[in-house]
Amino acid sequence: MVSQYATRQMLEPDAVKLLAQYSAPYPEHGFARTANEAVSIADRIGYPVVLKIVSPDVIHKSDAGGVVIGLETAQAVTAGFSQITSRVRERVPGAHIKGILVCKQAPAGLEVIVGGLHDPLLGPTVMFGLGGIFTELLKDVTFRIAPFHRRDAQEMIAEIRGYPLLTGARGEKPCDVEAVVRLLLGVSRLLSEHKEIAELDLNPVRVYERGLLVLDARIIPQSTSDDADVSVGTMGLVIRGD
């Protein structure tokens, strides 16, 4: 029996693989089942790195102790691997730990959130807003029913109150708004083509002067059994054991 930290979801490596087909770039990464594999991946992609738990039963990785950032040596990666697995086993009893995702740590940038769901009345719906307190406290978000076009994506971005932050307010460098447009169009197409997706959450998405990176990806399929295995096949999502 798993705790309130858990629900059934697509594993993040599979979510990243699916999102890559829809213009959603993710930091360089690799999947490790052992601490030695994690060190090998970190050595290959370069330090510093971030470690994240990979488990179908852990939805809020940070709350479950499943994330460690800023690791700059092989020794730190080995210790971080052990720390994550121990904390998750303690906080989410019964969770099935598949391994650890080792990611190149992304530079600082403006954080936005992109979400989506299949509304029972409206169908596939996409959300966009600024990340951090803008989402949590100010509710500065906007919605569109998918599929939509470039003009709709541009309007979504421009109508949030925090839009000036994207365009270079107070002397800051402007962000790559066109990259955000491409991401929104990709998510619109993804939700329209995959009715089996119940919820999607890309948070945070870090936007730069050129380009962006999705730093965390959560995809929850339509209701599955507790032991269903959700992965990505050549024709879309594959749910086994449902």
85 and 155: one domain?
no
What is the per-residue pLDDT for 140? Answer: 87
| Boundary residue ending a domain (51, 74, 105) | 105
List the structure tokens of 76: 């730190």
Q: Are 38 and 32 in contact (CB under 8 A)?
A: yes
User: Tell me, what DSSP letter sits at residue 24?
Assistant: -
Q: CB atoms < 10 A from the CB of 170, how many?
A: 6
What is the per-residue pLDDT for 59? Answer: 84
92 and 190: one domain?
no
Instruction: Strands of the chain (E only): list them.
Output: 29-32, 49-54, 67-71, 99-104, 110-119, 123-130, 141-145, 197-207, 212-214, 217-221, 229-233, 236-240
48 and 121: one domain?
no
Domain of residue 97 covers 28-105
Among candidate residues 206, 209, 221, the one with its CA nearest the CA of residue 168: 209
Give the domain CATH number at 42: 3.30.1490.20
- pTM (2 d.p.): 0.87
138 and 55: one domain?
no
User: Tell me, what DSSP letter sits at residue 236?
Assistant: E
189 and 149: one domain?
yes
| Measured distance CA(198)–CA(33) in Å, rounded | 28
Burial of residue 149 (number of CB atoms within 10 Å: 0-12, 13-18, 19+): exposed
170 and 90: one domain?
no
Q: DSSP of 147-201, one letter per residue?
A: S--HHHHHHHHHHSTTHHHHHTGGGPPPP-HHHHHHHHHHHHHHHHH-TTEEEEE
143 and 210: one domain?
yes
Number of domains in the chain: 2
116 and 100: one domain?
no
Report strand pairing: 29-32 vs 236-240: unpaired
What is the per-residue pLDDT for 79? Answer: 98
Query: Would you write out the chain's pLDDT as a tens digit for each of its 242 residues?
Result: 233 333 568 999 999 999 999 989 999 999 999 999 999 999 999 999 999 999 999 988 999 999 999 999 999 999 999 999 999 999 999 999 999 999 999 999 999 999 999 998 999 999 999 987 667 667 889 999 999 999 999 999 999 999 999 999 777 889 999 999 999 999 999 999 999 999 999 999 999 999 999 999 999 998 754 444 544 443 344 444 44
Q: Is 11 helix (H, G, I), strand (E, B) or coil?
A: coil
| Boundary residue ending a domain (105, 126, 143) | 105
Report strand pairing: 110-119 vs 123-130: antiparallel
What is the per-residue pLDDT for 133? Answer: 66
What is the per-residue pLDDT for 51? Answer: 98
Among candidate residues 8, 56, 13, the one with its CA nearest the CA of residue 224: 8
Residue 120 resides in a domain = yes
What is the per-residue pLDDT for 103? Answer: 98
Q: Are 177 and 163 in contact (CB under 8 A)?
A: no
121 and 197: one domain?
yes
Angle at 47 between CA 45 and CA 49, to 5 degrees: 85
| Measured distance CA(10)–CA(238) in Å, rounded | 10
